[in-house]
Structure 1
Amino acid sequence: MKNKASTLINETNGELAFKLFSFSDDSNFDHIQRHNYYSIILLLKGEAQLQIELEKYTISNKKVICISPYQPYSLKSIKLISGIVLNFHSDFFCTYKHQNEIETEGILFHNIFGPSFFNLPNEETLLNIMTQMELEITHGKIGQHESLVSYLKIFLISILRIKNLDTDSEKIASKGNSKPQILQSLINSIEANYKTKHTPKDYSEVLNISSTVLSKLVKDYFNKTLTKLIAQRIVVEAKRELYLTSKSVKEVAFLLGYTDEYYFSRFFKKQVGVSPNIYRKTVGFAKAER
Protein backbone atom coordinates (compact mmCIF):
# COMPACT_ATOMS: atom_id res chain seq x y z
CA MET A 1 0.00 0.00 0.00
CA LYS A 2 1.02 3.54 -0.61
CA ASN A 3 1.73 5.67 2.43
CA LYS A 4 -1.57 7.56 2.35
CA ALA A 5 -5.17 7.26 3.49
CA SER A 6 -8.00 6.00 1.33
CA THR A 7 -11.30 7.15 2.81
CA LEU A 8 -15.02 6.93 2.11
CA ILE A 9 -17.48 9.19 3.94
CA ASN A 10 -21.16 8.42 4.51
CA GLU A 11 -22.86 11.16 2.49
CA THR A 12 -26.05 11.06 4.59
CA ASN A 13 -24.41 11.94 7.90
CA GLY A 14 -20.80 12.93 7.11
CA GLU A 15 -19.41 10.11 9.27
CA LEU A 16 -16.56 7.77 8.37
CA ALA A 17 -17.78 4.77 6.39
CA PHE A 18 -14.55 3.03 5.37
CA LYS A 19 -10.87 3.91 5.61
CA LEU A 20 -7.50 2.36 4.88
CA PHE A 21 -4.22 3.93 5.93
CA SER A 22 -0.65 2.95 6.67
CA PHE A 23 1.39 4.13 9.67
CA SER A 24 5.10 4.35 10.46
CA ASP A 25 4.94 5.53 14.09
CA ASP A 26 2.49 5.53 17.01
CA SER A 27 1.11 9.05 16.56
CA ASN A 28 -2.34 7.71 15.64
CA PHE A 29 -2.60 5.45 18.68
CA ASP A 30 -0.41 6.75 21.53
CA HIS A 31 -3.36 7.90 23.65
CA ILE A 32 -6.52 6.13 24.79
CA GLN A 33 -9.23 6.57 22.19
CA ARG A 34 -12.71 5.29 21.38
CA HIS A 35 -14.24 5.22 17.91
CA ASN A 36 -17.76 4.46 16.75
CA TYR A 37 -16.46 2.05 14.10
CA TYR A 38 -14.51 -1.20 13.86
CA SER A 39 -10.72 -1.11 13.49
CA ILE A 40 -8.38 -3.85 12.33
CA ILE A 41 -4.72 -3.02 12.83
CA LEU A 42 -1.96 -5.01 11.14
CA LEU A 43 1.21 -4.47 13.15
CA LEU A 44 3.83 -5.49 10.59
CA LYS A 45 7.05 -4.27 12.23
CA GLY A 46 8.26 -3.11 15.61
CA GLU A 47 7.26 -3.63 19.23
CA ALA A 48 4.60 -1.81 21.24
CA GLN A 49 2.56 -1.72 24.41
CA LEU A 50 -1.07 -2.41 23.59
CA GLN A 51 -3.69 -1.31 26.08
CA ILE A 52 -7.27 -2.47 25.58
CA GLU A 53 -9.63 -1.26 28.29
CA LEU A 54 -7.49 -1.75 31.45
CA GLU A 55 -5.49 -4.69 30.08
CA LYS A 56 -1.91 -4.12 28.91
CA TYR A 57 0.24 -6.36 26.69
CA THR A 58 3.64 -6.10 25.05
CA ILE A 59 3.34 -7.23 21.43
CA SER A 60 5.81 -7.38 18.57
CA ASN A 61 5.67 -7.48 14.78
CA LYS A 62 3.28 -9.63 12.76
CA LYS A 63 0.11 -9.21 14.79
CA VAL A 64 -3.56 -8.58 13.94
CA ILE A 65 -5.43 -6.37 16.44
CA CYS A 66 -9.24 -6.20 16.31
CA ILE A 67 -10.99 -3.28 18.00
CA SER A 68 -14.78 -3.08 18.48
CA PRO A 69 -16.79 0.18 18.38
CA TYR A 70 -16.17 2.31 21.49
CA GLN A 71 -13.59 -0.15 22.84
CA PRO A 72 -10.88 2.02 24.46
CA TYR A 73 -7.35 1.27 23.29
CA SER A 74 -3.87 2.69 22.73
CA LEU A 75 -0.73 1.43 21.02
CA LYS A 76 2.54 2.95 22.22
CA SER A 77 5.78 2.21 20.41
CA ILE A 78 8.64 0.47 22.21
CA LYS A 79 10.57 -0.19 19.02
CA LEU A 80 9.51 1.82 15.96
CA ILE A 81 6.25 0.38 14.65
CA SER A 82 4.65 0.31 11.23
CA GLY A 83 1.65 -1.31 9.62
CA ILE A 84 -1.79 -0.78 8.11
CA VAL A 85 -5.23 0.03 9.57
CA LEU A 86 -8.65 -0.83 8.16
CA ASN A 87 -11.64 1.01 9.66
CA PHE A 88 -15.27 0.41 8.78
CA HIS A 89 -18.56 1.59 10.26
CA SER A 90 -21.53 -0.69 10.96
CA ASP A 91 -23.60 1.29 8.46
CA PHE A 92 -21.08 0.29 5.79
CA PHE A 93 -21.00 -3.38 6.76
CA CYS A 94 -23.16 -4.86 9.52
CA THR A 95 -21.21 -7.67 11.20
CA TYR A 96 -24.30 -8.72 13.18
CA LYS A 97 -26.45 -9.01 10.08
CA HIS A 98 -23.85 -11.19 8.37
CA GLN A 99 -23.02 -13.27 11.46
CA ASN A 100 -24.44 -16.44 9.89
CA GLU A 101 -22.09 -15.99 6.92
CA ILE A 102 -18.98 -14.67 8.71
CA GLU A 103 -18.84 -15.34 12.44
CA THR A 104 -16.85 -12.31 13.53
CA GLU A 105 -18.80 -11.31 16.64
CA GLY A 106 -17.46 -13.08 19.71
CA ILE A 107 -14.33 -14.16 17.83
CA LEU A 108 -12.70 -11.14 16.20
CA PHE A 109 -14.85 -8.51 17.90
CA HIS A 110 -16.47 -8.42 21.35
CA ASN A 111 -14.50 -11.49 22.37
CA ILE A 112 -14.54 -11.10 26.14
CA PHE A 113 -12.99 -14.50 26.85
CA GLY A 114 -9.91 -14.17 24.64
CA PRO A 115 -7.31 -11.67 23.46
CA SER A 116 -8.11 -8.94 20.92
CA PHE A 117 -4.97 -9.77 18.94
CA PHE A 118 -3.26 -12.79 17.41
CA ASN A 119 -0.26 -13.81 15.33
CA LEU A 120 0.03 -13.01 11.62
CA PRO A 121 2.41 -15.59 10.11
CA ASN A 122 2.10 -14.30 6.55
CA GLU A 123 0.61 -10.92 5.64
CA GLU A 124 0.79 -11.29 1.83
CA THR A 125 -2.84 -12.38 1.34
CA LEU A 126 -4.20 -9.57 3.51
CA LEU A 127 -2.00 -6.96 1.82
CA ASN A 128 -3.19 -8.10 -1.60
CA ILE A 129 -6.83 -7.70 -0.56
CA MET A 130 -6.10 -4.27 0.90
CA THR A 131 -4.44 -3.21 -2.33
CA GLN A 132 -7.60 -4.16 -4.23
CA MET A 133 -9.67 -2.18 -1.73
CA GLU A 134 -7.45 0.85 -2.20
CA LEU A 135 -7.80 0.62 -5.98
CA GLU A 136 -11.57 0.34 -5.67
CA ILE A 137 -11.76 3.45 -3.47
CA THR A 138 -9.55 5.38 -5.89
CA HIS A 139 -11.00 4.28 -9.21
CA GLY A 140 -14.26 2.44 -8.59
CA LYS A 141 -17.51 4.15 -9.48
CA ILE A 142 -20.28 1.77 -10.50
CA GLY A 143 -21.00 -0.73 -7.74
CA GLN A 144 -18.22 0.58 -5.50
CA HIS A 145 -19.97 -0.20 -2.22
CA GLU A 146 -20.89 -3.74 -3.27
CA SER A 147 -17.36 -4.36 -4.51
CA LEU A 148 -15.75 -3.08 -1.30
CA VAL A 149 -18.13 -5.13 0.86
CA SER A 150 -17.13 -8.22 -1.13
CA TYR A 151 -13.44 -7.50 -0.53
CA LEU A 152 -14.16 -6.82 3.16
CA LYS A 153 -15.94 -10.15 3.51
CA ILE A 154 -12.95 -11.94 1.97
CA PHE A 155 -10.64 -9.99 4.28
CA LEU A 156 -12.64 -10.92 7.39
CA ILE A 157 -12.82 -14.57 6.35
CA SER A 158 -9.06 -14.54 5.81
CA ILE A 159 -8.27 -13.17 9.26
CA LEU A 160 -10.76 -15.57 10.86
CA ARG A 161 -8.85 -18.44 9.26
CA ILE A 162 -5.57 -16.98 10.49
CA LYS A 163 -6.94 -16.66 14.02
CA ASN A 164 -8.29 -20.21 14.02
CA LEU A 165 -4.80 -21.48 13.11
CA ASP A 166 -3.13 -19.42 15.84
CA THR A 167 -2.75 -21.87 18.70
CA ASP A 168 -0.73 -19.28 20.67
CA SER A 169 -3.49 -16.67 20.94
CA GLU A 170 -4.93 -17.91 24.24
CA LYS A 171 -1.46 -18.41 25.68
CA ILE A 172 -0.73 -14.74 24.95
CA ALA A 173 -3.55 -13.64 27.20
CA SER A 174 -3.21 -16.32 29.85
CA LYS A 175 0.56 -16.20 30.36
CA GLY A 176 0.84 -19.71 28.95
CA ASN A 177 -1.39 -21.39 31.54
CA SER A 178 -3.81 -24.06 30.44
CA LYS A 179 -7.42 -23.18 31.19
CA PRO A 180 -8.75 -24.82 34.38
CA GLN A 181 -11.99 -26.75 33.87
CA ILE A 182 -13.74 -24.53 36.41
CA LEU A 183 -13.17 -21.54 34.11
CA GLN A 184 -14.80 -23.34 31.20
CA SER A 185 -17.72 -24.06 33.52
CA LEU A 186 -17.78 -20.37 34.43
CA ILE A 187 -17.86 -19.36 30.75
CA ASN A 188 -20.75 -21.74 30.13
CA SER A 189 -22.56 -20.45 33.21
CA ILE A 190 -22.14 -16.79 32.22
CA GLU A 191 -23.45 -17.56 28.74
CA ALA A 192 -26.50 -19.30 30.22
CA ASN A 193 -27.25 -16.84 33.03
CA TYR A 194 -25.92 -13.33 32.25
CA LYS A 195 -29.44 -11.95 31.84
CA THR A 196 -30.38 -12.86 35.41
CA LYS A 197 -27.11 -13.25 37.35
CA HIS A 198 -24.95 -10.12 37.56
CA THR A 199 -22.53 -10.60 40.47
CA PRO A 200 -19.48 -12.78 41.27
CA LYS A 201 -21.39 -14.21 44.24
CA ASP A 202 -24.09 -15.49 41.88
CA TYR A 203 -21.56 -17.52 39.90
CA SER A 204 -19.59 -18.76 42.89
CA GLU A 205 -22.85 -20.20 44.20
CA VAL A 206 -23.70 -21.81 40.85
CA LEU A 207 -20.23 -23.40 40.62
CA ASN A 208 -19.98 -24.18 44.33
CA ILE A 209 -16.64 -22.44 44.74
CA SER A 210 -15.64 -19.52 46.93
CA SER A 211 -15.81 -16.05 45.37
CA THR A 212 -12.20 -15.39 46.38
CA VAL A 213 -10.83 -18.49 44.65
CA LEU A 214 -12.95 -17.98 41.54
CA SER A 215 -12.00 -14.30 41.27
CA LYS A 216 -8.29 -15.14 41.55
CA LEU A 217 -8.54 -17.77 38.81
CA VAL A 218 -10.33 -15.32 36.53
CA LYS A 219 -7.76 -12.59 37.18
CA ASP A 220 -4.84 -14.96 36.56
CA TYR A 221 -6.25 -16.38 33.34
CA PHE A 222 -8.27 -13.56 31.73
CA ASN A 223 -6.26 -10.63 33.16
CA LYS A 224 -9.48 -8.96 34.33
CA THR A 225 -11.80 -9.14 37.32
CA LEU A 226 -14.81 -11.44 37.45
CA THR A 227 -17.05 -8.39 37.87
CA LYS A 228 -15.62 -6.95 34.63
CA LEU A 229 -16.04 -10.25 32.80
CA ILE A 230 -19.72 -10.46 33.74
CA ALA A 231 -20.30 -6.79 32.89
CA GLN A 232 -18.67 -7.20 29.47
CA ARG A 233 -20.95 -10.10 28.58
CA ILE A 234 -24.03 -8.09 29.55
CA VAL A 235 -22.79 -5.12 27.50
CA VAL A 236 -22.13 -7.28 24.42
CA GLU A 237 -25.78 -8.34 24.42
CA ALA A 238 -26.95 -4.79 25.14
CA LYS A 239 -24.98 -3.53 22.12
CA ARG A 240 -26.48 -6.25 19.97
CA GLU A 241 -30.03 -5.34 21.01
CA LEU A 242 -29.41 -1.61 20.60
CA TYR A 243 -27.95 -2.18 17.15
CA LEU A 244 -30.21 -4.87 15.72
CA THR A 245 -33.59 -3.85 17.11
CA SER A 246 -35.68 -0.77 17.76
CA LYS A 247 -36.43 -1.82 21.36
CA SER A 248 -36.41 1.09 23.79
CA VAL A 249 -33.58 1.36 26.29
CA LYS A 250 -36.10 0.42 28.99
CA GLU A 251 -36.99 -2.76 27.07
CA VAL A 252 -33.32 -3.66 26.57
CA ALA A 253 -32.66 -3.08 30.27
CA PHE A 254 -35.58 -5.31 31.29
CA LEU A 255 -34.44 -8.03 28.86
CA LEU A 256 -31.05 -8.04 30.62
CA GLY A 257 -32.48 -8.24 34.10
CA TYR A 258 -32.53 -4.55 35.08
CA THR A 259 -35.79 -3.12 36.36
CA ASP A 260 -34.37 0.41 36.61
CA GLU A 261 -33.74 1.88 33.16
CA TYR A 262 -31.60 4.70 34.59
CA TYR A 263 -29.41 2.35 36.61
CA PHE A 264 -28.88 0.28 33.46
CA SER A 265 -28.02 3.41 31.43
CA ARG A 266 -25.42 4.45 34.03
CA PHE A 267 -23.99 0.93 34.03
CA PHE A 268 -23.78 0.91 30.22
CA LYS A 269 -22.13 4.32 30.07
CA LYS A 270 -19.56 3.31 32.69
CA GLN A 271 -18.63 0.25 30.64
CA VAL A 272 -18.81 1.70 27.12
CA GLY A 273 -18.07 5.39 27.64
CA VAL A 274 -21.29 6.62 26.07
CA SER A 275 -24.98 6.24 26.93
CA PRO A 276 -27.18 3.60 25.23
CA ASN A 277 -28.91 6.34 23.23
CA ILE A 278 -25.62 7.84 22.02
CA TYR A 279 -24.33 4.38 21.15
CA ARG A 280 -27.43 3.69 19.09
CA LYS A 281 -27.28 7.10 17.42
CA THR A 282 -23.61 6.83 16.41
CA VAL A 283 -23.30 3.11 15.67
CA GLY A 284 -26.75 2.55 14.17
CA PHE A 285 -29.83 0.51 14.99
CA ALA A 286 -32.71 -1.67 13.76
CA LYS A 287 -30.68 -2.99 10.85
CA ALA A 288 -32.50 -6.31 10.96
CA GLU A 289 -35.88 -4.61 10.81
CA ARG A 290 -35.26 -2.62 7.63
Structure 2
Amino acid sequence: MTNSLINTMTIDSLKLPFSFAGEFVLLTLSDVVALFKVDNSFKTKFYTMFIVESGFGKLIIDNEVHDLKKGRVFFINYNQVFRLTEAENFKGEAVLFTRSFYNLIYTGNRKIKNDTAFSHLPSFMDFSKSDLVNFRAGINDIKKEFTQPEVLSKEIICLLLKASMLKYIRKTDNANYIDFKTNRKSNYIEQFKNLVEIHFKELKRTSDYSEKLTISANYLNALIKEKLDISAENVIQNRVILEAERLLLNTDLSVTEISFELGFSDKSHFGKYFKKITQESPNNFRKKFL
Protein backbone atom coordinates (compact mmCIF):
# COMPACT_ATOMS: atom_id res chain seq x y z
CA MET A 1 0.00 0.00 0.00
CA THR A 2 1.22 3.46 -0.82
CA ASN A 3 -0.99 5.66 1.34
CA SER A 4 -1.95 5.93 4.97
CA LEU A 5 -5.14 7.59 3.80
CA ILE A 6 -7.35 7.55 0.73
CA ASN A 7 -7.11 10.91 -1.04
CA THR A 8 -10.54 12.55 -1.01
CA MET A 9 -10.94 14.95 -3.91
CA THR A 10 -13.36 17.63 -5.01
CA ILE A 11 -13.22 19.38 -8.37
CA ASP A 12 -12.02 22.52 -6.58
CA SER A 13 -9.19 20.62 -4.89
CA LEU A 14 -7.80 19.65 -8.32
CA LYS A 15 -6.79 23.34 -8.72
CA LEU A 16 -7.55 23.47 -12.41
CA PRO A 17 -7.20 26.64 -14.52
CA PHE A 18 -10.95 26.63 -15.21
CA SER A 19 -14.09 24.80 -14.15
CA PHE A 20 -17.74 25.76 -13.83
CA ALA A 21 -17.74 26.86 -10.17
CA GLY A 22 -16.06 23.63 -9.06
CA GLU A 23 -19.01 21.61 -10.36
CA PHE A 24 -18.05 20.58 -13.89
CA VAL A 25 -14.86 20.14 -15.89
CA LEU A 26 -13.78 18.26 -19.02
CA LEU A 27 -10.21 16.95 -19.20
CA THR A 28 -8.03 14.83 -21.45
CA LEU A 29 -7.09 11.41 -20.06
CA SER A 30 -3.41 12.44 -19.99
CA ASP A 31 -4.45 15.29 -17.64
CA VAL A 32 -6.30 12.74 -15.52
CA VAL A 33 -3.21 10.55 -15.21
CA ALA A 34 -1.22 13.60 -14.09
CA LEU A 35 -3.84 14.69 -11.55
CA PHE A 36 -4.67 11.26 -10.16
CA LYS A 37 -1.17 9.97 -9.72
CA VAL A 38 -0.67 6.35 -10.72
CA ASP A 39 -0.83 3.83 -7.84
CA ASN A 40 -2.42 6.33 -5.41
CA SER A 41 -5.98 5.72 -4.18
CA PHE A 42 -8.68 8.34 -4.59
CA LYS A 43 -12.25 8.88 -3.45
CA THR A 44 -14.07 11.64 -5.31
CA LYS A 45 -16.94 13.90 -4.32
CA PHE A 46 -18.14 14.00 -7.92
CA TYR A 47 -19.05 11.66 -10.76
CA THR A 48 -16.33 10.69 -13.24
CA MET A 49 -16.72 9.41 -16.78
CA PHE A 50 -13.67 8.17 -18.71
CA ILE A 51 -13.90 7.72 -22.50
CA VAL A 52 -10.87 5.69 -23.65
CA GLU A 53 -9.66 6.16 -27.24
CA SER A 54 -6.26 4.49 -26.97
CA GLY A 55 -3.54 3.47 -24.54
CA PHE A 56 -3.41 0.74 -21.95
CA GLY A 57 -3.35 0.19 -18.22
CA LYS A 58 -5.68 -0.80 -15.43
CA LEU A 59 -8.33 0.98 -13.42
CA ILE A 60 -9.10 -0.53 -10.01
CA ILE A 61 -12.52 0.50 -8.69
CA ASP A 62 -12.96 -0.67 -5.12
CA ASN A 63 -11.61 -4.25 -5.36
CA GLU A 64 -12.43 -4.85 -9.05
CA VAL A 65 -9.63 -4.61 -11.64
CA HIS A 66 -10.60 -3.38 -15.13
CA ASP A 67 -8.52 -3.05 -18.29
CA LEU A 68 -8.37 0.38 -19.88
CA LYS A 69 -8.87 -0.16 -23.59
CA LYS A 70 -10.19 1.52 -26.70
CA GLY A 71 -13.96 1.90 -26.86
CA ARG A 72 -14.50 1.38 -23.15
CA VAL A 73 -16.38 4.03 -21.19
CA PHE A 74 -16.06 4.05 -17.41
CA PHE A 75 -18.40 5.56 -14.86
CA ILE A 76 -17.17 6.13 -11.28
CA ASN A 77 -19.79 7.04 -8.69
CA TYR A 78 -19.50 9.30 -5.66
CA ASN A 79 -17.31 7.80 -2.92
CA GLN A 80 -16.06 4.84 -4.93
CA VAL A 81 -12.34 4.31 -4.38
CA PHE A 82 -10.28 4.00 -7.55
CA ARG A 83 -6.66 3.68 -8.54
CA LEU A 84 -4.86 3.88 -11.89
CA THR A 85 -1.98 1.47 -12.50
CA GLU A 86 0.37 0.79 -15.41
CA ALA A 87 -1.19 3.72 -17.27
CA GLU A 88 0.58 4.61 -20.53
CA ASN A 89 -0.11 6.51 -23.76
CA PHE A 90 -3.64 7.45 -22.89
CA LYS A 91 -5.86 9.31 -25.29
CA GLY A 92 -9.44 10.15 -24.52
CA GLU A 93 -11.44 12.40 -22.30
CA ALA A 94 -12.81 12.58 -18.79
CA VAL A 95 -15.99 14.34 -17.70
CA LEU A 96 -16.17 15.31 -14.03
CA PHE A 97 -19.43 16.63 -12.61
CA THR A 98 -21.24 17.03 -9.31
CA ARG A 99 -24.79 16.12 -8.30
CA SER A 100 -25.72 19.77 -8.11
CA PHE A 101 -24.51 20.39 -11.67
CA TYR A 102 -26.41 17.40 -13.05
CA ASN A 103 -29.55 18.54 -11.22
CA LEU A 104 -29.17 22.13 -12.45
CA ILE A 105 -32.13 21.73 -14.82
CA TYR A 106 -35.42 20.20 -13.74
CA THR A 107 -37.04 18.29 -16.60
CA GLY A 108 -40.11 16.74 -14.94
CA ASN A 109 -39.00 13.26 -16.03
CA ARG A 110 -37.57 11.26 -13.16
CA LYS A 111 -35.32 9.25 -15.44
CA ILE A 112 -33.27 12.39 -16.04
CA LYS A 113 -34.42 15.03 -13.56
CA ASN A 114 -32.04 13.81 -10.85
CA ASP A 115 -29.21 11.36 -10.34
CA THR A 116 -31.04 8.54 -8.53
CA ALA A 117 -30.86 6.39 -11.67
CA PHE A 118 -27.05 6.27 -11.27
CA SER A 119 -27.28 3.97 -8.25
CA HIS A 120 -25.42 0.69 -8.91
CA LEU A 121 -24.68 1.41 -12.56
CA PRO A 122 -21.97 -0.89 -13.98
CA SER A 123 -18.45 0.51 -13.78
CA PHE A 124 -17.89 0.33 -17.53
CA MET A 125 -19.56 -0.33 -20.85
CA ASP A 126 -17.88 -1.41 -24.09
CA PHE A 127 -19.08 0.58 -27.09
CA SER A 128 -18.94 -0.62 -30.70
CA LYS A 129 -17.17 1.67 -33.15
CA SER A 130 -20.43 3.17 -34.44
CA ASP A 131 -21.95 3.53 -30.95
CA LEU A 132 -18.78 5.22 -29.71
CA VAL A 133 -18.90 7.72 -32.60
CA ASN A 134 -22.46 8.58 -31.60
CA PHE A 135 -21.57 8.81 -27.93
CA ARG A 136 -18.53 10.96 -28.59
CA ALA A 137 -20.55 13.36 -30.70
CA GLY A 138 -22.40 14.40 -27.56
CA ILE A 139 -19.14 14.69 -25.62
CA ASN A 140 -17.69 16.86 -28.41
CA ASP A 141 -20.71 19.17 -28.16
CA ILE A 142 -20.08 19.42 -24.42
CA LYS A 143 -16.42 20.19 -25.12
CA LYS A 144 -17.31 23.07 -27.45
CA GLU A 145 -19.55 24.67 -24.83
CA PHE A 146 -16.94 24.17 -22.12
CA THR A 147 -13.89 25.46 -24.01
CA GLN A 148 -15.75 28.44 -25.47
CA PRO A 149 -18.38 29.27 -22.88
CA GLU A 150 -21.16 31.66 -23.79
CA VAL A 151 -24.51 32.65 -22.33
CA LEU A 152 -26.41 29.51 -21.20
CA SER A 153 -23.38 27.23 -21.73
CA LYS A 154 -23.88 25.66 -18.28
CA GLU A 155 -27.49 24.85 -19.02
CA ILE A 156 -26.67 23.44 -22.46
CA ILE A 157 -23.89 21.27 -21.00
CA CYS A 158 -26.27 20.02 -18.31
CA LEU A 159 -28.79 18.89 -20.93
CA LEU A 160 -26.08 17.31 -23.12
CA LEU A 161 -24.71 15.56 -20.04
CA LYS A 162 -28.15 14.12 -19.27
CA ALA A 163 -28.32 12.81 -22.85
CA SER A 164 -24.87 11.20 -22.49
CA MET A 165 -25.84 9.52 -19.22
CA LEU A 166 -29.06 8.21 -20.78
CA LYS A 167 -26.99 6.70 -23.61
CA TYR A 168 -24.77 5.01 -21.01
CA ILE A 169 -27.81 3.74 -19.09
CA ARG A 170 -29.45 2.51 -22.31
CA LYS A 171 -26.25 0.65 -23.17
CA THR A 172 -26.66 -1.47 -20.02
CA ASP A 173 -29.85 -2.93 -21.53
CA ASN A 174 -31.07 -3.37 -17.95
CA ALA A 175 -34.81 -2.86 -17.46
CA ASN A 176 -34.23 -1.77 -13.85
CA TYR A 177 -32.49 1.34 -15.19
CA ILE A 178 -34.32 1.87 -18.47
CA ASP A 179 -37.81 1.49 -16.97
CA PHE A 180 -36.98 3.60 -13.92
CA LYS A 181 -40.39 4.69 -12.63
CA THR A 182 -41.51 6.91 -9.84
CA ASN A 183 -43.97 5.92 -7.13
CA ARG A 184 -44.16 6.16 -3.38
CA LYS A 185 -42.42 2.82 -2.85
CA SER A 186 -39.56 3.77 -5.15
CA ASN A 187 -39.21 7.09 -3.35
CA TYR A 188 -38.87 5.35 0.02
CA ILE A 189 -36.26 2.97 -1.38
CA GLU A 190 -34.19 5.76 -2.92
CA GLN A 191 -34.45 7.86 0.24
CA PHE A 192 -33.36 4.86 2.30
CA LYS A 193 -30.32 4.23 0.10
CA ASN A 194 -29.37 7.89 0.24
CA LEU A 195 -29.70 7.94 4.03
CA VAL A 196 -27.54 4.82 4.34
CA GLU A 197 -24.88 6.51 2.23
CA ILE A 198 -24.86 9.46 4.64
CA HIS A 199 -25.27 7.73 8.00
CA PHE A 200 -23.90 4.17 7.72
CA LYS A 201 -21.03 4.90 10.09
CA GLU A 202 -23.22 5.88 13.02
CA LEU A 203 -26.58 4.22 12.23
CA LYS A 204 -26.56 0.45 11.71
CA ARG A 205 -30.13 -0.61 12.57
CA THR A 206 -33.13 -0.67 10.23
CA SER A 207 -35.22 1.15 12.83
CA ASP A 208 -32.79 4.10 12.75
CA TYR A 209 -33.69 4.67 9.12
CA SER A 210 -37.40 3.87 9.33
CA GLU A 211 -37.70 6.59 11.96
CA LYS A 212 -36.13 9.12 9.60
CA LEU A 213 -38.56 8.03 6.86
CA THR A 214 -41.52 8.04 9.33
CA ILE A 215 -42.54 4.51 8.39
CA SER A 216 -42.32 1.27 10.37
CA ALA A 217 -39.18 -0.87 10.28
CA ASN A 218 -41.26 -3.84 9.08
CA TYR A 219 -42.69 -1.86 6.16
CA LEU A 220 -39.25 -0.54 5.18
CA ASN A 221 -37.82 -4.03 5.30
CA ALA A 222 -40.68 -5.39 3.16
CA LEU A 223 -40.11 -2.67 0.55
CA ILE A 224 -36.38 -3.35 0.35
CA LYS A 225 -36.92 -7.10 0.22
CA GLU A 226 -39.45 -6.72 -2.60
CA LYS A 227 -37.23 -4.46 -4.70
CA LEU A 228 -33.68 -5.58 -3.92
CA ASP A 229 -34.26 -9.18 -2.75
CA ILE A 230 -32.24 -8.55 0.41
CA SER A 231 -33.22 -7.12 3.78
CA ALA A 232 -32.77 -3.48 4.79
CA GLU A 233 -30.26 -4.67 7.38
CA ASN A 234 -28.26 -6.35 4.59
CA VAL A 235 -28.16 -3.07 2.66
CA ILE A 236 -26.73 -1.30 5.71
CA GLN A 237 -24.26 -4.12 6.39
CA ASN A 238 -23.10 -4.21 2.77
CA ARG A 239 -22.38 -0.47 2.84
CA VAL A 240 -20.38 -0.78 6.06
CA ILE A 241 -18.41 -3.74 4.70
CA LEU A 242 -17.75 -1.98 1.40
CA GLU A 243 -16.21 0.96 3.25
CA ALA A 244 -14.23 -1.42 5.47
CA GLU A 245 -12.85 -3.20 2.41
CA ARG A 246 -11.91 0.11 0.80
CA LEU A 247 -9.96 1.13 3.89
CA LEU A 248 -8.32 -2.28 4.30
CA LEU A 249 -7.16 -2.41 0.67
CA ASN A 250 -6.25 1.22 0.06
CA THR A 251 -4.75 2.45 3.33
CA ASP A 252 -2.30 1.24 5.94
CA LEU A 253 -4.64 2.17 8.79
CA SER A 254 -4.71 -0.50 11.49
CA VAL A 255 -7.81 -2.60 12.02
CA THR A 256 -8.35 -0.73 15.29
CA GLU A 257 -8.21 2.63 13.50
CA ILE A 258 -10.62 1.37 10.84
CA SER A 259 -13.05 0.12 13.47
CA PHE A 260 -13.21 3.59 15.06
CA GLU A 261 -13.50 5.24 11.62
CA LEU A 262 -16.59 3.11 10.93
CA GLY A 263 -18.26 3.91 14.22
CA PHE A 264 -17.52 0.70 16.17
CA SER A 265 -16.73 0.91 19.85
CA ASP A 266 -13.71 -1.39 19.61
CA LYS A 267 -11.69 -3.65 17.34
CA SER A 268 -13.37 -6.81 18.63
CA HIS A 269 -16.88 -5.62 17.77
CA PHE A 270 -15.78 -4.62 14.28
CA GLY A 271 -13.95 -7.92 13.76
CA LYS A 272 -17.04 -9.98 14.68
CA TYR A 273 -19.25 -7.81 12.45
CA PHE A 274 -16.88 -8.14 9.49
CA LYS A 275 -16.40 -11.89 9.90
CA LYS A 276 -20.14 -12.55 10.28
CA ILE A 277 -20.77 -11.03 6.86
CA THR A 278 -17.61 -11.98 4.91
CA GLN A 279 -16.69 -15.24 6.73
CA GLU A 280 -13.16 -13.99 7.31
CA SER A 281 -11.37 -11.59 9.61
CA PRO A 282 -10.34 -8.09 8.50
CA ASN A 283 -6.65 -9.06 8.71
CA ASN A 284 -7.16 -12.17 6.57
CA PHE A 285 -9.09 -10.15 4.00
CA ARG A 286 -6.25 -7.63 3.79
CA LYS A 287 -3.58 -10.32 3.49
CA LYS A 288 -5.48 -12.21 0.79
CA PHE A 289 -5.66 -9.22 -1.55
CA LEU A 290 -2.20 -7.85 -0.85
Identify the structure with the greater helix proportion: 2
**2:29 is equivalent to residue 20 of structure 1:** no
2:101 equivalent to 1:101 = no
CA shift, 1:116, in A, is: 0.8
**Structure 1's 85 and 255: CA in aligned 2 closer, same or farther, altered over 3 A?**
same
Partner of 1:35: 44
1:214 paired residue number:
none
Q: Of 225, 231, 238, which residue of structure 1 is paired with 2:195?
A: 238
CA distance in 1 between partners of 2:156 and 2:205 (Å): 37
Q: Partners in 1 of 2:243 and 2:159 — Cα distance?
A: 36
Contact 1:42 1:63 in 2 (8 A): yes
* Counterpart-to-counterpart distance in 1, 2:87 and 2:123: 19
- Is the 2:125–2:168 Cα contact (8 Å) retained in structure 1? no
2:162 equivalent among 153, 160, 164: 153
1:92 corresponds to:
101
**CA pair 104-6 structure 1, distance change in 2 beyond 3 A:** farther
Letter in 1 for 2:125: F
Specify whether residues 101 and 27 from structure 1 end up closer, same or farther in structure 2 by C-alpha distance, changes over 3 A only.
same
2:15 maps to 1:9: no
Matches within 5 A, 1:274-289: none
Q: Which residue of 1 is the match for residue 61 of structure 2?
A: 52
Alpha-carbon distance, 1:135 to partner: 2.1
Q: CA separation in 2, counterparts of 1:141 and 1:253? A: 50
Q: Which moved more, 1:98-107 or 1:25-34?
A: 98-107
Give, in angstroms, the shift of residue 129 of structure 1: 1.7
In structure 2, what is the equivalent of residue 124 of structure 1? 133
Report what 2:10 is aligned to: none
The residue number in structure 1 matching 2:208 is: 254
Distance 1:84 1:121 in 2: 17
1:35 positional shift: 1.1
User: Which whole-Å CA distance do the structure 2 matches of 1:235 and 1:83 have between them?
Assistant: 36
Report the more deviating stretch, 77-86 or 250-259: 250-259
Cα distance in structure 2, aligned partners of 1:85 and 1:275: 31
Aligned-partner SS, 1:141: coil
Question: Cα 1:80–1:92, aligned 2, differ >3 Å: closer, same or farther?
Answer: same
Number of matched pairs: 190
Give the Cα–Cα distance (whole angstroms) in 1 for the partners of residues 23 and 205 of structure 2: 29
Q: Secondary structure at the match of 2:19?
A: strand
Q: Residue 100 of structure 1 aligns to which amino acid in structure 2?
A: R
Change (3 A) 1:250 1:55: closer
1:162 to 164, 171, 185: 171
- SS at structure 2 position matched to 1:142: coil
Q: 1:88 to 1:138 in 2, by over 3 A?
A: same
Q: Which runs of 5+ in 2 are unaligned?
A: 1-15, 175-185, 218-235, 248-260, 264-290
The Cα of 1:252 is off from its aligned counterpart by 9.2
Question: How far apart are the structure 1 equivalents of 2:57 and 2:242?
Answer: 29
User: C-alpha root-mean-square deviation of aligned residues, in Å?
Assistant: 4.6
- Same amino acid, percent of matched pairs: 16
Instruction: State the secondary structure of the residue aligned to 1:41.
Output: strand
- Write the letter of the residue equivalent to 2:150: K
2:100 partner SS? coil
1:150 offset after TM fit, Å? 1.2
SS of 2:154 mapped into structure 1:
helix
Gaps of 5+ in 1: 11-15, 166-191, 196-232, 243-247, 277-290
Matched, 1:63 2:17: no
CA contact (8 A) 1:238 1:252 kept: no
CA distance in 2, matches of 1:144, 1:78: 33
